[in-house]
Amino acid sequence: MSDTDKKSPSNFIRDIIDSDLSSGKRAEVITRFPPEPNGYLHIGHAKSICLNFGLAKSYSGKCNLRFDDTNPAKEEQEYIDSIQNDVAWLGFDWGGEALYASDYFEDMYEWAKRLIKADLAYVDDLTAEEIRAYRGTLTTPGKESPYRTRSAQENLELFEKMKDGEFPDGAKTLRAKIDLTSGNLNMRDPVMYRIVRAVHPRQGDKWCIYPMYDWAHGLEDSIEGITHSICTLEFEDHRPLYDWFLNQLPELHHPRQIEFARLNINYTVMSKRMLMQLVKDKHVSGWDDPRMPSISGMKRRGYTPESIRDFCGRIGVAKVASTVDIALLEHCLREDLNKRALRRMAVLKPLKVVIDNYPEDQVEWFDGENNPEDPESGTRKIPFSRELWIEQDDFREEAPNKKYFRLAPGKEVRLKHAYYIKCVDYKKDESTGEILEVHCTYDPASRGGGTDDGRKVKGTSHWVSASHGVKSEVRLYSHLFSAETPGAATGNFLDDIDADSLEILTDALVEPALAEEAAFAGVQFLRQGYFCVDPDSTKDRPVFNRTVTLRDTWAKVEKQG
RNA sequence: UGGGACGUCGGCAAGCGGUUAAGCCUCCGGUUUUUGGAGCCGGCAUACGCAGGUUCGAAUCCUGCCGUCCCAGCCA
């Protein structure tokens, strides 16, 4: 994993760790990535994963993968499995078994009883609505629950009965006794346990009370000996509570919580709720739809783990809520793929070319380099014959300007790896305007794609032999959303879904070598972009997903006129 | 005067009292090229939210404004 070995740029978390290490406050660095298994991982999680595992690696410490499975109502084994797959795919190793907050439930329960005995927690009979009303508002203090003064003994008995299932769901809660007047709402007697009868993915129906995040999380970190507990900005307000709980159990190891800004990227959404909605309402084909920012979607799109890690390293870590340009993500992708993707020719929107002076039944096999960026990558054979397919975009009835150097009547272009051809004629359906076929002559002296006469042929087209081309399906993906900030205009992010974010081409023709690629393999279709083999592919009918286009300066020039 | 945090180039982001205010993406030129790809070269903040103050010296320290984000789940 050489990319994460690069010297990491300075950031405030490293500063804190450096200072904790040099002051002797800490002797090692232990971090953790603590997902709740209630959805699939996305690129935002990747930032956190790279941060936590990266820190552990660079300080020779360790990073745990811990499922924060404290709410069985939302959690499922499917997510536990997918999360482990995704973290592993990203290239990280959590050293053995994943850990689970639910494995600590027994300890947490005992510690809760300690707080009760110390008169620091009480069982409350208020309903959820009542608790909300008693909590006050942002600007007005809350008031104490009438049950706040129960004796420690009574609380202990009640809490045990809660655990033993003697009360219905929601009937009682265990609350910490802190301060109803605090300006920080989290300190207004937060709920520690609620009664929920739901089947837990790992604990089954063993428990009917479940700890809340604030009570559980610091304990989980403590048990695991976490030194630096890194989370996102919205937990800043929770840090006083994180510390308060741990301070009530002074013999416990007390990690330091540090908050950083979560990742936002333009033209996409990152909240689990929205991603879930896209999947459930079928705006996309699933969590692994190639337009999703989920790790599984990105994998299917053709992203490489290396490119994602590189991206996470480049965006930095800070406390400013910011939005990264998706162009940076795509840049990291192209940079990685450019080094390694095999070059192939594929005609997406075919136009027939007949080479009038080429022998009727002749076939030549040219050698094409697999990747000019990598001399070691070798070559493959490409068949050439009298009838070929070229891209519709590579022919015009009339050259628009002197900068245009593609095919047009009287103009000469190079067929990559093959010959120069000159357009001598073309057929057109006058009623529809459709170009039916183009007739050319080739120059035998240009075999291989060049001549000795110093003739300049600036245009190079990709092509596929008509009799050898393999019919394929090509799925052209673009950004799922057409607005930089989905929902900014109407308040509903769904309004900004781009109806054209997927274009399916069913008549594409690819060179024979392309029919042999394995699923997820990334290749470059010359002059067009990077594509990968979709798992929907069959022997008879390959399916390719466009990962990302190549940069296209001609398109830019044309746009500007 | 509810609490917490944050404001450095179009977008990220270094900088921690003395720097010509890093780097990356985008963008714009040029060069090169059998991918209008890639590569290579160059350009792009006299300026650090604003206003004062401290100091020989401030993006860095202080004060006051202004702006943005987060918090009222028995979610995490």
- Mean pLDDT (whole number) for A398-418: 95
State the nucleotide closest to A331 in CA–C1' terms: B25
Residue A560 has pLDDT above 80, yes or no: no
Phi/psi of residue A318, nearest 5 degrees: -150, -175
- Mean pLDDT (whole number) for A64-85: 98
Provide the pLDDT for residue A393: 96
Report the mean per-residue pLDDT for chain A. Answer: 96
Q: Which residues lie across from A122 on neighbouring strands?
A: A175
| Residue A393 Cβ under 7 A from any strand B atom | no
State the nucleotide closest to A369 in CA–C1' terms: B34
Q: CA of A243 vs C1' of B71, distance in Å?
A: 17
pTM for this predicted structure: 0.96
What is the Cα gyration radius of chain A? Answer: 31
Write the pLDDT tens digit of every residue in A455-493.
Answer: 989 999 999 999 999 999 999 999 999 999 999 999 999
Active-site residues of A: which are they?
36, 262, 272
State the nucleotide closest to A399 in CA–C1' terms: B36
Residue A28 has pLDDT above 80, yes or no: yes
Provide the pLDDT for residue A7: 55
| Amino acid occupying residue A220 | E
Q: CA of A329 vs C1' of B25, distance in Å?
A: 9
Residue A2 pLDDT class (50, 70, 90 cuts) = very low
Task: Give yes or no for a contact between A483 and A443, defined as CB atoms under 8 angstroms apart.
Answer: no
Distance CA A100, CA A68 (A): 6
- Residues of each domain in chain A carrying CATH 1.10.1160.10: 272-342+474-560
- Residues 152-211, chain A: which have Cβ under 7 A from strand B? 169-173, 183-186, 190-191, 194-196, 210-211
- Mean pLDDT (whole number) for A152-175: 98
Q: Is A248 exposed, middle or buried (0-12, 13-18, 19+ CB in 10 A)?
A: middle
- Mean pLDDT (whole number) for A243-258: 98
Provide the pLDDT for residue A324: 98
Residue A561 pLDDT class (50, 70, 90 cuts) = low
- Mean pLDDT (whole number) for A424-439: 97
Residue A5 has pLDDT above 70, yes or no: no
- Mean pLDDT (whole number) for A32-54: 98
Q: How far is CA A363 from the centre of its chain?
A: 45
| Residue A18 Cβ under 7 A from any strand B atom | no
Residue A558 has pLDDT above 90, yes or no: no
Residue A3 has pLDDT above 60, yes or no: no
Provide the pLDDT for residue A6: 47
Write the pLDDT tens digit of every residue in A108-163.
Answer: 999 999 999 999 999 999 999 999 999 999 999 999 999 999 999 999 999 999 99
Beta strands in A333-374 (DSSP E): 342-344, 346-347, 350-355, 364-369
- Residues of each domain in chain A carrying CATH 2.40.240.10: 346-462
Provide the pLDDT for residue A557: 87
State the nucleotide closest to A335 in CA–C1' terms: B38
> Topology of domain A346-462, per CATH?
Ribosomal Protein L25; Chain P (2.40.240)
| Residue A379 Cβ under 7 A from any strand B atom | no
Residue A331 has pLDDT above 60, yes or no: yes
Concatenate the DSSP letters of all residues of A68-118 into one string.
----TTT--HHHHHHHHHHHHHTT---SSS-EEGGGGHHHHHHHHHHHHHT
Residue A4 has pLDDT above 50, yes or no: no
- Residues of each domain in chain A carrying CATH 3.40.50.620: 12-262
Write the pLDDT tens digit of every residue in A514-531.
Answer: 988 888 889 999 999 999
Provide the pLDDT for residue A559: 81
- Residues 47-76, chain A: which have Cβ under 7 A from strand B? 68, 70-71, 73-74
Provide the pLDDT for residue A520: 80
- Mean pLDDT (whole number) for A180-202: 98
Residue A1 has pLDDT above 60, yes or no: no
- Mean pLDDT (whole number) for A317-336: 98
Domain boundaries A12-262, corresponding CATH code: 3.40.50.620
Length of chain A: 561
Which range among A5-14, A152-161, A274-283 shows the weakest confidence by mean pLDDT? A5-14
- Residues 440-479, chain A: which have Cβ under 7 A from strand B? 448-450, 459-460
**Nucleotides in chain B with any atom closer than 7 Å to protein CB:** 2-8, 10-16, 22-28, 34-39, 68-76
> Topology of domain A272-342+474-560, per CATH?
Glutamyl-tRNA Synthetase; domain 2 (1.10.1160)
Taking every pair of Cα atoms in chain A, the longest distance, rounded to a whole number of angstroms, is 102
- The contacts of residue A217 (CB under 8 Å, 6+ apart) are A34, A68, A101, A229, A242
